[in-house]
Structure 1
Amino acid sequence: MIDPRRLRVLRALADHGTVTAAGQALHLTPSAVSQQLAALESEVGQDLLHRKGRRVWLTAAGELLVEHATAVIAELDRAEARLAAYAAGETGRVRVAAFASAITQVVAPAIVALRASAPGVSVVVHDAERSLPMLLDGEIDIAVTVEYWASANEDDQRIVRTPLYAEPFDAVLPPGHRLTDRAEVNLSDLAADDWVAPLPGNPCRDVLVVACEGVGFTPRITHTSDDFHAEAALVAAGGGVALIPRTALAGVEPARVRPIAVDPPTRRVFAAVRRGREDHPLILAVQSALGEAVTQSC
């Protein structure tokens, strides 16, 4: 095994030409330099130096090893720099969980921005509707999620929340629906309809159920999907009506989309981190990029 410290001595000798000058560069005595070079020759089993009196110069094997020493030393220096940056919080990996439309609208643009503003930050993304349990279990570093009735309480001391954006849900109607002639609809007007909704456990389903119950009815859910485009397709096929967040309506025929007239259901999106980590430099960098992405896209 070659001692990399001795490779530095060999590199210094190649750079400075004499044992004395190499020692001065490395803050070693000439005797210590000679001992290190002799030990290196023993490690590699070959003569690395020609010696004549006090003069020394590299053999062909020594010149070959200097080439490798240059590459090895550069890698060691790079490792030290990366470790120092990691210790200072300037580089490392941040795990983010978010629901699909937030990934599209906010997380993905934030990753692009981070490549320029904080190239040492690597973001790993997980698609998840309910990400707070993952955060509290330590599986992720940042949860981008929605406030809903079953979510962790706002005063939960384990997490710190940062609001990102809020958006209303709009009604999506099937072709020929009785309310398509209206500019906007009341949620109560849809009490008699069948509904297309997310699966149980999805926060957006909770928003739908709570909003409908707030105006006096329980939605009769006949079709389910956690994909908003699939929901819109089921509505277009006559499967019922749906409430879909506005940012998820790309590609849906505008003629079938109607705002809710009074107190539209709204999803409030926030980023959450575990308390105690909110000032970590890596997390701050990602949070800042998420905020900038919101400003640009929402």
Structure 2
Amino acid sequence: MIDPRRLRVLRALADHGTVTAAARALHLTPSAVSQQLAALESEVGHDLLRRRGRRVSLTPAGELLVRHANAVAAELERAQAMLAAFDAGETGRVEVGSFASAITQVVAPALAELRVRAPGVVLRVRDVEGHASVPLLLDGEIDLAITEEYRLRTDDRRLTRFPLYTEPFDVVLPPAHPLGGRAEVDLGDLADEDWVVTLPGNPVRDVVELACEQAGFAPRIAHASDDFSAIGALVRAGAGVALVPRSAVRGVPVRGAAPLRRVVAAVRAGSEDHPLIKLVREALHHPAGTYSDS
């Protein structure tokens, strides 16, 4: 008989790549994780890991078992959701991870609505960049992640996602910039400018670099921050130009097809029908449905 608790350890190792990182995610010691994995290998009678220095990778048997572990985890989430559905009361806590502008755009209005419509539901909000919220979701640290669609693997069956809103990116220019009076700006006209961008790993930076590449140049990066208010302040100080989501800093529209950010809510597969999560999703869709990208 396979111990499902050990399957959770194997899933964490597959997600995080090292025993130390898996232990941190599971709030265990590295030695405890190693012991659990050794016991699991003994249970199934197969080597599940290849060890290469500090890092490990899954053997074919390990990959097969992880696929089944993911299916087991989803079924357990569904069982929990069905049990919760028996409880007609709307009481409980939901942990939400979201990047800052989506907190302003949809999470805060949803929280205000829930306080009136379902006062027994406590929404706990964590400010976390979209690319960092999905690991927290998979590790069980949060119940719902708001992130950018293009940061999610479309074949990841551990997640169920729901569209929230789509917004364009705008060009942000210093006050005295010669292009500041235009109704639209061609990105190609900014090829020789200094740029203020987000930090490496932030999905917004990926969008900016791809948009500039499609316009025929690589941005000359002078400053970087993940705080859009800081980016706006740097641009106003004349430090460079920026391309940011419209809800973060309003700027000048891009001429032609503007880069877009598609924002989604993601939950662990199987938990989408949990009554508390359904309440939160419905509340999120109300302010999201009023968003205009024009």
Is TM more than 0.5 here?
Answer: yes
Offset of residue 201 of structure 1: 1.7
Letter in 1 for 2:126: H
Offset of residue 88 of structure 1: 4.6
Letter in 1 for 2:262: R
Larger radius of gyration: 1
Gapped runs of 5+ residues in structure 2? 1-83
Instruction: State the TM-score, normalizing by the size of structure 2.
Output: 0.67
Equivalent pair of 1:98/1:125 in contact (CA under 8 Å): yes
Deviation string 1:247-283 (CA, Å, 9 cap, x unpaired) is 1226xxxxxx321011111111110001110111010
Matches of 2:85 and 2:91, distance apart in 1: 6
5 Å-filtered alignment, 1:141-290, equals 141-148=143-150, 151-249=151-249, 257-290=251-284
Superposition CA RMSD, Å: 2.0
Offset of residue 225 of structure 1: 1.2
**For 2:200, what is the secondary structure of its paired residue?**
coil
Matches of 1:216 and 1:160, distance apart in 2: 36
| Of 140, 143, 168, the match for 2:142 | 140
Offset of residue 152 of structure 1: 2.4
Equivalent pair of 2:174/2:241 in contact (CA under 8 Å): yes
Letter in 2 for 1:224: A
Offset of residue 215 of structure 1: 2.1
Equivalent pair of 1:85/1:91 in contact (CA under 8 Å): no
Identity %: 60
Offset of residue 101 of structure 1: 0.9
Number of equivalenced pairs: 208
2:285 aligned partner: 291
Matches of 2:290 and 2:177, distance apart in 1: 35
Gapped runs of 5+ residues in structure 1? 1-83, 251-256
**For 1:247, what is the secondary structure of its paired residue?**
coil
Equivalent pair of 1:89/1:282 in contact (CA under 8 Å): no
Runs of 4+ in 1 over 2 A off after TM superposition: 84-90, 295-298
